[in-house]
A and B are shown apart, each in its own frame.
Chain A
Amino acid sequence: MTQISPLVALVGNPNAGKSALFNALTGARQKIANYPGVTVERKSGRASFADGRSIEMIDLPGAYSLDPDSLDEAVTRDVVLGKLEGHRRPDALVIVLDAGNLDNHLRFALELIAQGLPTVVALNMIDLAERDGLRLDAQALARALGVPVIETVAVRRRGLEPLMTALDGALKKSPVVIEPVATSFGAQNQRARDIARAAIISETAGRQWTRRLDAILLHPVGGVVILLALLFLMFQAVYGWSEAPIGWIESGFALLSDGIKNVMPDGLLRSFLTDGVIAGVGSVIVFLPQILILFLFILLLEASGYMTRAAFVMDRMMAAVGLSGHSFIPLLSSFACAIPGIMATRTIMDQKERLATILIAPLMTCSARLPVYTVIIGAFIPASSVGLGIGLQGLVLFGLYIAGILGAMLAAAVIQRFVTQSRTSSFLIEMPRYQWPRPGDIAINLWQRAWVFLRRAGTIIFAATVILWALLSFPKAPDGSNVSQVEYSVAGRIADGLEPIVRPIGFNHDIALALIPAMAAREVAVSALATVYAIDAADEDAAATSLGPKLAADWSLATALAFLAWFVFAPQCISTIAVTRRETNGWKWPIFMVSYLFALAYAAAGITYWTARSFGL
Chain B
Amino acid sequence: MQLDHLPLNQIAVIRAIDWESLPDQEGHRLRALGFEPGVTIEALHKGILMWRDPVAVRVGRMTVALRTKVAAAIDCELSA
Which residues of A are interface residues toward B (Cβ below 8 A)?
A: 64-65, 67, 69, 100-104, 107-108, 132, 134, 185-186, 189, 210-211, 214-215, 218, 220-221, 223-224, 308, 311-313, 315-316, 319, 324-325, 349-350, 424, 426-431
25 A–B contacts, CB within 8 A, in A order? A64-B29, A65-B32, A69-B28, A102-B61, A103-B34, A108-B32, A134-B61, A189-B31, A214-B45, A215-B45, A218-B45, A218-B48, A218-B56, A312-B54, A313-B47, A316-B51, A426-B23, A426-B70, A427-B54, A428-B26, A428-B30, A428-B33, A428-B64, A428-B66, A429-B64
Residues of B within 8 A of A220 (CB): 46-49, 52
Known: A189-B36, A316-B53, A349-B25. A224 touches B65 (CB 8 A): no
Residues of A within 8 A of B66 (CB): 427-428
In angstroms, how far is the closest chain B Cβ from the Cβ of A428? 5
| Cross-chain pair count, CB within 8 angstroms | 109
In angstroms, how far is the closest chain A Cβ from the Cβ of B71? 10
In angstroms, how far is the closest chain A Cβ from the Cβ of B34? 4
- Given A224-B49, A312-B65, 10 other A-B residues pairs in contact with their CB atoms under 8 A: A101-B60, A134-B61, A189-B36, A214-B44, A315-B53, A315-B54, A424-B23, A427-B66, A428-B30, A429-B65
Q: How many chain B residues touch the partner (CB < 8 A)?
A: 32
Residue in contact with A315 in the complex, picked from B26, B34, B47, B59, CB distance below 8 Å? B47
Instruction: Check if B67 is an interface residue, CB within 8 A of chain A.
Output: yes
Known: A220-B49, A312-B47, A426-B25. A104 touches B59 (CB 8 A): yes
**B56 near A103 (CB under 8 angstroms)?**
no
Residues of B within 8 A of A312 (CB): 45, 47, 54, 56, 65
| Bound-complex Cα distance A432 to B70 (A) | 20
Residues of A within 8 A of B64 (CB): 428-431
In angstroms, how far is the closest chain A Cβ from the Cβ of B11? 12
Residues of B within 8 A of A215 (CB): 45
In angstroms, how far is the closest chain A Cβ from the Cβ of B17? 11
In angstroms, how far is the closest chain A Cβ from the Cβ of B25? 5
Residues of A within 8 A of B48 (CB): 218, 220-221, 223-224, 313, 316
| Bound-complex Cα distance A417 to B58 (A) | 34
Residues of B within 8 A of A218 (CB): 45, 48, 56
Instruction: Check if B63 is an interface residue, CB within 8 A of chain A.
Output: yes
In angstroms, how far is the closest chain B Cβ from the Cβ of A22? 22
Residues of B within 8 A of A103 (CB): 34, 60-61
Residues of A within 8 A of B80 (CB): none
Question: A interface, by DSSP: helix, strand, loop or mixed?
Answer: helix
From A350, which residue of chain B is reached at the shortest CB distance? B25
| Bound-complex Cα distance A185 to B28 (A) | 10
In angstroms, how far is the closest chain B Cβ from the Cβ of A349? 5
Leading 4 A-B pairs by shortest Cβ distance? A64-B32, A103-B60, A316-B51, A104-B34
Residue in contact with B62 in the complex, picked from A69, A104, A189, A325, CB distance below 8 Å? A104
Residues of A within 8 A of B65 (CB): 308, 311-312, 315, 325, 427-429, 431
**B23 near A186 (CB under 8 angstroms)?**
no
Residues of A within 8 A of B63 (CB): 210, 214, 430-431
In angstroms, how far is the closest chain A Cβ from the Cβ of B7? 15
Residues of B within 8 A of A107 (CB): 34
Residues of A within 8 A of B30 (CB): 428
Q: Mark B1-35, 1 if CB is under 8 A from A, else 0.
A: 00000000000000000000001011011111110
In angstroms, how far is the closest chain A Cβ from the Cβ of B39? 8
Known: A313-B48, A350-B25, A427-B66. A185 touches B31 (CB 8 A): yes
Q: Name, among A107, A308, A430, the residue most crowded by chain B CB atoms within 10 Å (CB to CB).
A: A430
In angstroms, how far is the closest chain A Cβ from the Cβ of B27? 10
| Bound-complex Cα distance A221 to B52 (A) | 11
| Bound-complex Cα distance A312 to B44 (A) | 13
Residues of B within 8 A of A315 (CB): 47, 53-54, 65, 67
Residue in contact with B56 in the complex, picked from A65, A214, A424, CB distance below 8 Å? A214
In angstroms, how far is the closest chain B Cβ from the Cβ of A124? 14
| Bound-complex Cα distance A456 to B48 (A) | 40
